[in-house]
Amino acid sequence: MSSYRTITENLQKPDLDDRSYRLIELENNLKALVIHDPTTDKSAASLDCNVGSFNDPKNLPGLAHFCEHLLFMGTKKYPNENDYSSYLSQHSGYSNAYTSKLDTNYYFELNYNYLEGALDRFAQFFINPLFSKSCKDREIKAVDSENKKNLQNDVWRLSQLDKSLSSPLHPYNKFSTGNLNTLSELPLKEGVDVRDELINFYNKHYSSNLMRLVVLGREDLDTLTKWVVEKFSEIPNKDKSKSIFNNPPFTKKELQKLIKAKPVMDTKSMELTFITPDQSSNWESQPQRYFSHLIGHEGKGSLLYYFKEKGWANELSSGSMNISKNYSVFAIEIDLTDKGLENYQEIILNIFQYLKMLEKNKPQEWIFKELKDISNMNFKFKQKSSVSNTVSKLSNLLNKVDDSLPYEFFLSQSILRKYDPKLIEEYGSYLNPENFKVLLVSPTFNDLPLREKWYGTEHSVEDIDSNFIEKLNNCSICNENLHLPLPNEFVPTNFDVNRTPNIGKPANRPKLIKSTDKQRIWFKKDDQFFVPKANLGIMFHCPVTQSTPFNSTLTNIFLDLIEDALNDIAYDASIVGLHYGLSATRDGFSLKVSGYNDKLTVLLEKVLDHLVDFKPTSHRFEVLKEKCIKAYKNFGYSAPYGQIGHYSTTLLYDNAWLIDEKLKIMQNLKYDDLVTFIPSVMKQLFIETFVHGNFNETDALKISDILQNKFGNIRSLSDSQYLTARSLLIKDQYRYIKELSDPKDINSCIEYFIQFDEIKDMQKLALADLVAQVTHEPCFNELRTKEQLGYVVFSGVKKTRTTFGYRILIQSERTTDYLEFRIVEFLQKFRAMLSEMSSEKFNKNVESLIAKKLLKKKNLSEEFSKIWGCITSGFYDFDFNEQEVEVLKKLSKNDLLNFYDDYILNFNNQKKLITHLKSQSALKQSEKKLINISILNHLSKINKYESISSNKLEELINSYDAFKNYDIQEITDFIKSLEFKELLKDDDKLLKDSDFQNKLISQIVKDLNNPTPDIYPSGKLINSISAFKAENPLTAAVQPVEDLNVFLDHEIVNGVSKL
């Protein structure tokens, strides 16, 4: 076995971290961090390659990203392109990767006892990848589809605009995603073989000495070390140096510019960007955080507080972003109102007045100490999170470690350690008028002369007026509204954790400690994480809030206005990790508060005071109304896959309304409507509360008393006033069709939903989950990887309030009718795969699903979310997963086959809702892809699908140059050319059979003329939502799965101790 050296095992870690760490270096100079977690039920690994889009050749934008895609498609040791994903899927796992400016990061997770097999497959990507020719074109199309998914996304558009307007001498200027043009069409014209270039890129940049690996498992450090050494020492070491980019990303030529841009959505914003030195060497003091904290502050005296009083802005954020070694940018982003856009120069002036104020006041040690104490506190009590997120983040951070940061502090880089006022002053000196540029964004900008090359963003670039620059340079502190914040009242001082001795196994259900006609109090003490934190959930059941679309819209702006009024207080709390949120629910609204328990009730009381006594101003009403209208309008311009659930869910719920309806209501809403509405909200309530974490029962009852004091005079609800949760029980097959609002979005989306039954039959629920488990990887592999229908492909169980079923969702450039056709073909084809599934594979899938159901919660928030979800659903089914596992253990393959036949393949009797969101500019399917799919479908119908080498078929089709008109003669010639290609693994004679050839040619010609059979789209067209809801019955209402009295605490009943 190859050797290694241990760098350190003494890493500074959170107080409650029970993991062991060892940082090692292999003989090939790959550095690896192995992590032993004795209680984890998931293992994970991540490898970060110190190569990213900055390394793309100039003539091949997106090559690093393309490499990330194609690397997954098979290795010499594991040649099947989906071997890795299948292995992970069978063991409750998944993988992902991303390409950034300087890094490509690969990661996976799966059940803890299958880590070694996953590591072996994972390591081979960096030892002997195939970069298969047959996969090349498909993955280029996957990259292209990913890019097209983002073409109408303003975040991507404005980010690329910023890059395109940077210095062409720095790689930040590049287009990083890649598309069909950059990776296929242009290289073809220039005689460039993209696969050869990709292999050259991989061989040049993928070197073990630049790689950082993190592996987390339940095995001890020695075992994990042994596996890493055995499997990753073979990665070639090319002894490469990290890429250094010496030129600045922004020079004088690119600074002092006013850039105006027109967005897709109705958003108005401004961003000020300053170029600064990279601060990674100043890891002890991190001066950029001092400025980010103060400029981004939202309390009294802050920029945002002042701008909101003026009616100029809704949000403001600031922070530093590293561009490359030696260079960073500091950005201030402001969400503007219409009035703010008109006064954008005044806003810029105010920002520089604030910077002058900071300069005059000099660095304040008390502010740094407050930030330092908070950073220490947050690290000390940091809890575990998703293992895949953990390893991915750590491998990336490990690649950022340089000589200035000792490895011992690698995990604790977030801690502020040293107050250095000189460094703070030096950093502040870069935030000056000679060193910034402005991006102003508004849909009102018309006739902008320039178009960004990659996304087509309309924009203009002009010099900032020299007189205005001079005004900024000479501005003095003349604004008394701008000043330093006061000390934070929410910083906790008591971190005691009340541990109960001899706890044993953690409880999975809460206690009911109070139940009256006005409130119900649930309580669960933290019995496994032992952090000084707590969570609080409060449901205000108030049916008037959701009884009509008008009231629902009023409720939304009412809650927004309360959050707006609390913003300065909430911001101080959020700095120390104390958060709250208000949201509308099916029959009222909810309040959640979470964070350090020491000051949690302080924040709670401030929020409740506003709820009880809130009196909105007409000024803020108009500002928030404008913001809500924009949000409703912008929803129609968001990604189609993000919209489709809203429409399907609205159709299936009893009291739910389309956002289109709410937009019309909001546009006509008056201030007096809200003033009249608010008293009705607080007239009658039932309050249900869950207290969770580092509290005891006495604390929970004190919270109950607080609620009683605030809402004691409010009348309770009668039984008849409760809005029961119901969903529609579909009787037939339906389709709902809506054209997308964005005329330039080329993507459509379909959600194909088969409803099974009401949520009450555990056997069917378990079988539905098992269908989702066994189809997950094959569905993705077929519809996304092989057929390349689109970048976004989801499948799985979909639950409404009281029903459940199975859905497949695809976002694609193809028509939704065609997508429906392909979904049905997949479901039919999968039946044969299911029938042929071995007992071993079936059992592995059941085992994988059980592992998912019994997955332990990693932190306090996850446990709270699980229990709170059981309460708010109305089922109070705290033991649901454990009960389903017992059913899963008894299921057979025949049970699954019968269920699949009865509910998935029984097309005549299916209860189905197919939602189509149609693009106004959908693209035509390519002829070669249609030929490929047509042949595969024809072979599938005669049970020969598994016999064909689909990769080879695709390669032959793509390389066939004689296609011109795609007429019957060309199709015939192509089919004749396949006779001796050995495509079929077990029946080569079939391709030479003239009768088979004639039928196949006839089928291809038919599919080319009309790729979607006439039966699609299927189902009754929904012309009227009210008519659809009228003709389909509602289910029974939600009921608790057992009498709530069984949850009553035996020692405390209705808040009174019985001891």
- Non-local CB neighbours of 1010 within 8 Å, separated by 6+ positions: none
Written as six digits, the tokens of 517 are 């006609």
CB atoms within 10 A of CB 164: 19
Report yes or no: 850 and 885 within 8 Å, Cβ to Cβ: yes
Closest CA to 457 of 130, 897, 163, 68: 163
| SS3 per-residue string spanning 359-426 | HHHCCCHHHHHHHHHHHHHHHHCCCCCCHHHHHHHHHHHHCCCCCCCCHHHCCCCCCCCCCCHHHHHH
Quote the CA–CA distance of 687 and 716 in Å, as a whole number. 9
Closest CA to 95 of 134, 44, 48: 44
Q: In one letter, which amino acid is 641?
A: Y
CA distances (Å), origin 277, targets 52, 274, 420: 21, 10, 16
Q: In one letter, which amino acid is 56?
A: D
Report yes or no: 983 and 997 within 8 Å, Cβ to Cβ: no
CA distances (Å), origin 357, targets 216, 478, 484: 48, 9, 8
- Catalytic residues, by residue number, are 68
Report yes or no: 342 and 270 within 8 Å, Cβ to Cβ: no
CB atoms within 10 A of CB 491: 18
8-state DSSP, 520: E
Helix spans in 593-656 (H): 600-613, 618-635, 640-652
Label residue 502 left, alpha or beta by phi (over 0 means left) and psi (-120 to 50 means alpha): left
8-state DSSP, 875: -
- Non-local CB neighbours of 811 within 8 Å, separated by 6+ positions: 149, 639, 640, 641, 747, 748, 749, 790, 791, 792
Report yes or no: 856 and 527 within 8 Å, Cβ to Cβ: no
8-state DSSP, 908: G
Report yes or no: 648 and 752 within 8 Å, Cβ to Cβ: no
Written as six digits, the tokens of 227 are 């596996």
Quote the CA–CA distance of 242 and 210 in Å, as a whole number. 7
- Cα angle: 421, vertex 427, 429; to 5 degrees: 105
Q: How far apart are the first and last CA of the chain?
A: 65
Positive or negative: CA dihedral 174, 179, 184, 190: negative
